[in-house]
Structure 1
Amino acid sequence: MVQKRESGATAILRSLAAAEQERTRRQAQPELGDRVQALKAYQQARLRLSHADLLASPRYAAAARFFLDELYGPGDFSRRDAQFARIVPALVRLFPREIVGTVATLGELHALTESLDSAMAEALPSAALDAPAYVRAWQVTGRRADRERQIDLLLDVARSLDRYTRTPMLSVSLRMMRAPARAAGLSDLQVFLERGFDTFKTLRGADEFLGCIEAHERALLAQLFTADPSSLAGSGQLP
């Protein structure tokens, strides 16, 4: 048990350091930082277009918003990451092992996303994006395996949150963590976990929802690395 928890702490700290390294590099290169911000905004628009059916669904709208904003969106997680880095020992000590594992996966997801965003931005000719430039940048990076890993990680986090809703003891433990988490400076993490738990609980089973997310994203993955960017010029479509 101790070994698993120590390895969870090591994984979280490694991911936090990797994400912060990317942010620091972009702060030192304002032009790169501007391109990353433009890329994040473009990808947010793309995500909302790709998953418009889920966002419009009475059953899935709340889960889709959580998924796109908290797991897969363009949000600035630097404050939460800095908080985590200071209190990882407390996190590992206080939270159940399953939740520590989910946080480690979430950290890996964010670190990989920051790395991909930097690589994509470096491949862009400017901060002005359109469909051809977006596809071309993905192809220049050549990081299809990392894109596949990104999809796997976000689905892993979502499935973990869904699984928690069917584990009574874990859900009770999560509620009991409110005061200790706040005292340890882990309030942001607590809010994220509770929001995810409450969102997925309302679905009463997230398999169909996550299947739709996965189908959308894997179809896009194939398009990104096989499409002719010039064929998308003037299409007005966000691939």
Structure 2
Amino acid sequence: MLFGKKHDTAGSAGETPGRHWVVHRIGRLLGMNYRARDPEIEARNNLPILSGLQRWQSRRLARSYDDLLQAPDSRAATRFFLSDLYGDHDVSLRDREMERVMPMMQRILPPAMLMIAADAIELAVLSHALDLRVAEQLALKGIDEAGIDVRSYAAAYRAAGHRRLRQRQIRRIESVGLALGDAVNQPWIARLLKLARGPARLAGLHELHRFLERGFDSFGQLHDVPAFMSRLCGNERLVSEQLFAGRADPFGFGRDAIV
């Protein structure tokens, strides 16, 4: 089981976890992420179709949210969503940094940003684990990157299953986005992030700090964070439902669209 019943979650609404709890959660998630991506532990990482699948999904996302990429206020946040949160962005350097300097993280970064980092790592674990399952289904059908289209992707997505994990994946996207929206409304977090830039670099947390700053800066440009997240997550929930239901045009591109 990818995630047990004792979820790595923050608790009830309004609850603020302590720094030690969050750092401990990050440590568990980093271990899970390492195991999910290690080709010696998880052989499906060796599937040639995996990287092609991830590129196809990135193109699909860019097409689904092209209007948000064109709008000045949502362009940066959409790029952050597509690359850092939900796309094929390589997070290995960020995670290796965090693994090396876990004890120092709680002294350098504010708890709110640590929680965002933890949720982002969980999202990375979920996304990669689900990608492995879809890639396996494509490989079983003998499909290479050139052969991925809406129909073959939809069939592999359904065969991979894990509907509840798909729902959880979208909830994690939502939690990261809304938390970033809350953070940009608290000026003290911006000041702390800026002050932490030098110490983070010296401590070996440069990539993590850049990730948090990219998220903070991009969501700071949005006029309405809840509306933005509602659009993204609402659409992704609809897409997931239509894929599982076997709809002919789950993305709304047309039945024979080339992605």
How does the TM-score come out when normalised to structure 1?
0.90
Which whole-Å CA distance do the structure 2 matches of 1:86 and 1:203 have between them?
34
Q: Name stretches of at least 5 consecutive residues in structure 1 with no aligned partner.
A: none
The answer to whether the aligner puts 1:170 opposite 2:189 as a matched pair is yes
Alignment partner for residue 73 of structure 1, among 87, 97, 114? 87
DSSP-derived class of the 1:25 partner: coil
Matched-pair contact (CA < 8 Å) for 2:22–2:115: yes
* Match of residue 166 from structure 2: 147
The Cα shift of 1:231 comes to: 10
Which whole-Å CA distance do the structure 1 matches of 2:158 and 2:61 have between them?
19
Matched-pair contact (CA < 8 Å) for 1:113–1:150: yes
Alignment partner for residue 54 of structure 1, among 50, 60, 68? 68
Aligned-partner residue type, residue 17 of structure 1? G
Which whole-Å CA distance do the structure 2 matches of 1:148 and 1:212 have between them?
15
The answer to whether the aligner puts 1:182 opposite 2:201 as a matched pair is yes
* Match of residue 118 from structure 2: 104
| Identity in percent | 32
Map 1:1-239; keep pairs closer than 5 Å: 4-25=18-39, 29=43, 32-124=46-138, 125=141, 126-127=143-144, 128-227=147-246, 235-236=256-257
Matched-pair contact (CA < 8 Å) for 2:50–2:132: yes
Which whole-Å CA distance do the structure 1 matches of 2:102 and 2:59 have between them?
33
Between stretches 130-139 and 24-33, larger displacement belongs to 24-33
Deviation above 2 Å: which 4+ runs of structure 1?
3-7, 25-33, 125-128, 228-234
User: Cα 1:96–1:202, aligned 2, differ >3 Å: closer, same or farther?
Assistant: same
Between stretches 41-50 and 58-67, larger displacement belongs to 58-67
Between stretches 188-197 and 21-30, larger displacement belongs to 21-30
The Cα shift of 1:155 comes to: 1.4
Which whole-Å CA distance do the structure 2 matches of 1:109 and 1:56 have between them?
26
Q: Deviation string for 1:71-102 (max 9, x for gaps)? A: 11111111111111111211123211111111
Which whole-Å CA distance do the structure 2 matches of 1:20 and 1:43 have between them?
22
Matched-pair contact (CA < 8 Å) for 2:55–2:88: yes
The Cα shift of 1:7 comes to: 2.3
| RMSD, aligned α-carbons | 2.4
DSSP-derived class of the 1:177 partner: helix
Q: Name stretches of at least 5 consecutive residues in structure 2 with no aligned partner.
A: 1-16
How does the TM-score come out when normalised to structure 2?
0.83
Number of equivalences:
236
Which whole-Å CA distance do the structure 1 matches of 2:128 and 2:172 have between them?
14
Aligned-partner residue type, residue 178 of structure 2? R
Which whole-Å CA distance do the structure 1 matches of 2:45 and 2:199 have between them?
42
